[in-house]
């Protein structure tokens, strides 16, 4: 204890200095407390208040995110004793997460099945804000301890969100499966972290002593520890072989929660990988473990498994779940290249994918609200009854496929360009296989995405007595998303220059 006393002043100064770079997260903590207290004070009447406070608070947090760009003009900052990293990339990812989270908070009450839940949605808003705080930590984490704590915070919030509709057996089952898979992956990751700490005596990935100590350890043992840590991160990315939970959880969770899980944690996990990759790659090379080849194999297998499995699905949410796995594999291509061009391409791709995915699931909620349609065959003949929603759905699916002139096309083009530029320099067989697999699976994705417009417009409904109903909020959201996807497809530099 006496040995630590001389260092206390320096540690406290480091904490106080770090708070300057931690203001959006401080506001999120305050927002969480305010939303939770509002729920306790107003009870069942608190839903509208919690929703308004959460949305207004996220707008303020987003503004604080944007102000942080002025703090990184001269480079990056390590805060809280090298626990978190603030740089331009992390601020971009935090801003995207907050913008999408704001959109999803509005979406929660527009899903009739979720809104009808007997205990209301006030708790869900406080859980969502806590999840956003964890996502911010994931985006900035560069220490093994902060990485684990951030992932666990997001995971616990996600478990609660998936099983929120406790009266629904499918939702409860999905929550249970998610908890079991999450607990297993968390234990595996913690074991890997403990091994790395035992081998090196440090949790700081940037510490020179870590590589020096790992070189003294059997290369297989060190590689095994790194793989265990990657499994924990891969659980959030949902790449093969840690993807088994995705279809059941996405199908069983309330549709707005599915939209949340398939976009925000995935973006944060990619940001986490980008943060730690510059430190992990040298460790891998030092112990004879080439992470580039590992990620290339994972990317190829994930693209193939996700897209081919999606072709066989009839449930819309389950199909989108498998397609999200395929998109994860495609986005990993940019991670493998890991240069400034690929970073911009990945950020753009994740933004437009998340927008399109949220739009697709919002329209899945819409057709569930108005026509009780859960499966693709239930969409038969609804194109003329609900033309605006059907046209927006088609545009969004075009973007998810990656066809011109959508933002999805430009996103995939940027990723292909980044990979091809590196391929021209070293002619790596792995990069060639990645590009070939990415192109072929894009063609495969057309076969399952086209099922929805095919049933909407070209097939007649077997039940002509469907009551004509509307859900205007979801129509407005889907229309805005469809317009933005076309706009970004035509003018990609309007957003790319800021990434």
For residue 448, tell me if it sits in a domain. Answer: yes
For 227, 249, 283, the CA distances from 216, given in Å and listed in that order, are 18, 42, 12
pLDDT in the model for residue 382: 84
- Structural domain including 490 reads 291-499
Give first-to-last CA distance, the chain, whole Å: 46
pLDDT per residue as tens digits for the range 264-302: 999 999 999 988 887 777 776 766 667 788 889 999 999
Cα 466 from chain centroid? Answer: 36
For residue 496, tell me if it sits in a domain. Answer: yes
Q: Is the pLDDT of residue 10 over 70?
A: no
Report the percentage of the chain scoring pLDDT > 70: 93
Helix axes 472-490, 407-426, angle to 10 degrees: 40
The sign one gets for the Cα dihedral 19, 20, 25, 27 is: positive
CA distance 106 to 477: 9
Of residues 303, 179, 283, the one with CA closest to residue 230: 283
| Count of the separate structural domains present in the chain | 1
CA distance 83 to 15: 11
pLDDT in the model for residue 219: 77
For residue 116, tell me if it sits in a domain. Answer: no
pLDDT in the model for residue 424: 87
Average pLDDT over residues 155-182: 83
Q: Is the pLDDT of residue 466 over 60?
A: no
For residue 66, tell me if it sits in a domain. Answer: no
Q: Is the pLDDT of residue 1 over 70?
A: no
Comparison of pLDDT for 212 and 193, the residue scoring more: 193
pLDDT tier for residue 462 given thresholds of 50, 70 and 90: low
Average pLDDT over residues 37-48: 83
Of residues 253, 309, 300, the one with CA closest to residue 434: 300
For residue 310, tell me if it sits in a domain. Answer: yes
For residue 431, tell me if it sits in a domain. Answer: yes
For residue 182, tell me if it sits in a domain. Answer: no
Cα 419 from chain centroid? Answer: 22
pLDDT per residue as tens digits for the range 342-385: 889 999 999 999 999 999 999 998 988 888 888 888 888 888 88
For residue 494, tell me if it sits in a domain. Answer: yes
Q: Is the pLDDT of residue 208 over 80?
A: no
Strand positions, DSSP E, 320-430? none
pLDDT per residue as tens digits for the range 150-164: 999 999 999 988 888
């Amino acid at each position: 204890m006496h040995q630590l006393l001389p260092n206390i002043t320096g540690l406290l100064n480091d904490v106080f200095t770090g708070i300057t770079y931690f203001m959006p997260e401080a506001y999120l903590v305050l927002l969480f407390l305010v939303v939770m207290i509002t729920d306790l004070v107003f009870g069942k009447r608190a839903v509208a208040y919690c929703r308004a406070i959460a949305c207004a608070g996220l707008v303020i947090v987003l503004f604080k995110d944007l102000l942080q760009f002025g703090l990184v003009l001269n480079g990056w900052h390590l805060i809280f004793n090298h626990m978190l990293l603030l740089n331009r990339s992390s601020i971009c990812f935090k801003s995207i997460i907050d913008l999408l989270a704001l959109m999803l908070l509005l979406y929660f009450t527009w899903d009739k099945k979720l809104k009808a839940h007997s205990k209301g949605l006030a708790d869900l808003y406080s859980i969502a804000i806590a999840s956003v705080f964890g996502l911010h930590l994931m985006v900035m984490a560069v220490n093994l301890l902060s990485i684990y704590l951030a992932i666990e915070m997001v995971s616990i919030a996600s478990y609660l969100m998936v099983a929120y509709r406790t009266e629904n057996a499918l939702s409860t089952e999905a929550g249970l499966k998610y908890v079991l898979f999450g607990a297993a992956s968390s234990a595996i990751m913690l074991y890997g972290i403990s091994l790395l700490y035992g081998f090196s005596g440090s949790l700081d990935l940037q510490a020179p002593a870590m590589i020096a100590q790992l070189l003294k350890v059997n290369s297989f043992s060190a590689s095994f520890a790194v793989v265990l840590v990657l499994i924990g991160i891969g659980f959030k990315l949902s790449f093969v072989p840690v993807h088994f939970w995705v279809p059941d959880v996405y199908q069983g969770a309330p549709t707005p929660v599915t939209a949340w899980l398939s976009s925000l944690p995935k973006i944060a996990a990619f940001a986490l990988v980008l943060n730690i990759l510059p430190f992990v790659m040298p460790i891998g090379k030092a112990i004879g473990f080439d992470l580039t080849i590992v990620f290339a194999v994972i990317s190829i297998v994930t693209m193939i498994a996700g897209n081919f499995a999606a072709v066989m699905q009839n449930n819309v949410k389950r199909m989108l779940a498998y397609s999200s796995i395929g998109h994860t594999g495609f986005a990993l291509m940019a991670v493998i290249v890991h240069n400034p061009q690929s970073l911009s391409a990945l950020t753009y791709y994740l933004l437009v994918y998340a927008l399109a995915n949220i739009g697709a699931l919002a329209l899945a909620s819409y057709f569930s609200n108005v026509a009780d349609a859960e499966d693709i065959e239930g969409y038969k003949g609804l194109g003329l009854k609900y033309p605006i929603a059907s046209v927006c759905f088609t545009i969004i699916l075009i973007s998810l496929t990656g066809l011109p002139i959508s933002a999805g096309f430009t996103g995939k083009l940027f990723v292909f360009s980044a990979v091809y530029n590196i391929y021209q320099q070293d002619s790596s067989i792995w990069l060639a296989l990645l590009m070939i697999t990415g192109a072929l699976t894009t063609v495969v994705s057309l076969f399952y995405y086209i099922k929805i417009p095919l049933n909407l417009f070209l097939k007649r409904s077997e039940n002509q007595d469907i009551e004509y109903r509307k859900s205007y909020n979801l129509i407005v959201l889907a229309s805005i998303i469809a317009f933005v996807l076309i706009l970004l497809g035509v003018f990609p530099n309007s957003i790319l220059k800021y990434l």
